[in-house]
């Protein structure tokens, strides 16, 4: 009788330990080295069928758990893939066979982790991109006396794309400070533990590409392929609006 008890408790302990180990491995383990180019291509083609990827342009690390991989398809489209280390596996969060700039909200609760990624067709001959964090000017008066005014925000960050037609831009510190304070003021009085950032409609990101002679480049003028993408059910990606110069305010 005693022996049986002994056996059971040992089995129990082993069971608990294996479960703990499995949970640890699945959710908390450090990422393995990133995939080889061949594995990347295979995964992309499985995820994004119809327009097979052919060549990995570059493997760009965002942080220990996130990679951005621009690629070229057999027919010559410039695609983008967003990778995340999740459940002990390198997974595609989003992939498309096009690559206009997008905001990648790595950790939805922390704007300092946000970045903008892009991959353009080199025939567009874009040499600079101006990225913008914007908010539209607005006002309202409630009950005749309660005024509300929100100023125009237009913060610019210029990126040179002479050498490479793809890239990552980590948000400047000032941008994430501004986003964070806007979100905090909006969610004031709510428990903040689980608040995810949902940029209000008024705040948005924009981009204006320029060619080497400082003229505004129109994306799609030379490569008008619109492209398509698949996402793995995530809300981490946000559009970056193509802005007209006439929408911009200046000094």
Partner 1 sequence: MFFIIHFVYDYNLASLITVAIAWICIGILTYHIYKKQKIKPKIWKVFIILAVGFVSFSFDINMLHTKVKIPIIPLGVWLLYLYFRKKEVRWQMYRRFAWIGFFANFIFLASTLASVPIYNAMYPENELSTYLAKVKNPAIIQLHPSAKNDSLNGNFVKIIKQMKPAEMHSDEWFNGTVTMKMKQKDRKEKFPYQLTGVVPEWGSDIEPLIYMEKDGKGLLITSHHKQYYFRSNQSLLKGEN
Cα–Cα distance, 99 to 10 (Å, whole number):
55
Of residues 64, 201, 214, 250, which one binds partner 1 by CB under 8 A?
250
Of residues 139, 144, 163, 224, which one binds partner 1 by CB under 8 A?
139
- Residue 182 as a binder of partner 1 (CB under 8 A): the answer is yes
Q: Which is nearer to partner 1, 177 or 212 (CB)?
A: 177
DSSP string, the chain: -HHHHHHHHHHHHHHHHHHHHHHIIIIIPPPPPPPPHHHHHHHHHHHSTTS-EEEE---EEEETTEEEEEEEETT--EEEEEEEE-SSSEEEEEEES----EEEESSTT-GGGEEEEEE--GGG---EEEEEEEE--EEEEETTTEEEEE--EEEEEEEE-SS-SEEEEEPPHHHHHHHHHHHHHHSTTS--TTPPP---TTEEEEEEEE-TTSPBP-TTSS------EEE-S---EEEEEEPPGGG----
- Residue 152 as a binder of partner 1 (CB under 8 A): the answer is yes
Of residues 147, 194, 224, 226, which one binds partner 1 by CB under 8 A?
147
- Residue 143 as a binder of partner 1 (CB under 8 A): the answer is no
Of residues 137, 202, 222, 235, which one binds partner 1 by CB under 8 A?
137
Q: Which of residues 53-92 bind partner 1 (CB under 8 A)?
A: none
Listed ranges 89-97, 179-187, 209-217, 228-236: which one lies at the site for partner 1 (CB under 8 A): 179-187
Q: Which is nearer to partner 1, 33 or 144 (CB)?
A: 144
Q: Which is nearer to partner 1, 41 or 197 (CB)?
A: 197
- Residue 214 as a binder of partner 1 (CB under 8 A): the answer is no
- Residue 213 as a binder of partner 1 (CB under 8 A): the answer is no
Of residues 57, 154, 195, 231, which one binds partner 1 by CB under 8 A?
154
Query: What is the torsional sign of CA 54, 58, 64, 66?
Result: negative
- Residue 158 as a binder of partner 1 (CB under 8 A): the answer is no
Q: Which is nearer to partner 1, 159 or 248 (CB)?
A: 248
Take residue 40 and report the two structure tokens written for it. 């990347």
Chain residues in the site for partner 1 (CB under 8 A) = 137-141, 146-149, 151-156, 174, 177-178, 181-182, 184-185, 188-189, 191, 245-251
């Amino acid at each position: 009788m005693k022996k049986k008890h002994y056996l059971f408790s040992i089995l129990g302990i082993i069971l608990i330990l294996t479960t703990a180990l499995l949970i640890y491995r699945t959710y908390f383990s450090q990422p393995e080295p990133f995939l080889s180019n061949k594995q990347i291509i295979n995964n992309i083609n499985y995820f994004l069928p119809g327009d097979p990827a052919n060549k990995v342009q570059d493997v760009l690390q965002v942080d220990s758990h996130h990679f951005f991989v621009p690629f070229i398809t057999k027919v010559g489209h410039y695609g983008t893939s967003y990778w995340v280390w999740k459940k002990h596996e390198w997974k595609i969060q989003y992939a498309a066979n096009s690559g206009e700039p997008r905001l990648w909200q790595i950790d939805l609760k922390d704007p300092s982790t946000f970045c903008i990624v892009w991959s353009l067709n080199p025939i567009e001959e874009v040499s600079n991109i101006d990225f913008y964090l914007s908010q539209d000017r607005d006002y309202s008066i409630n009950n005749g006396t309660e005024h509300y005014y929100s100023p125009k925000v237009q913060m610019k960050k210029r990126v040179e794309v002479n050498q490479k037609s793809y890239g990552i831009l980590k948000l400047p510190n000032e941008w994430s400070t501004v986003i964070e304070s806007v979100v905090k003021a909006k969610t004031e009085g709510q428990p903040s533990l689980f608040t995810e950032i949902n940029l209000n409609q008024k705040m948005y990101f924009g981009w204006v590409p320029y060619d080497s002679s400082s003229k505004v480049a129109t994306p799609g003028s030379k490569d008008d392929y619109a492209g398509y993408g698949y996402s793995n059910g995530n809300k981490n990606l946000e559009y970056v609006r193509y802005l007209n110069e006439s929408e911009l305010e200046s000094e």
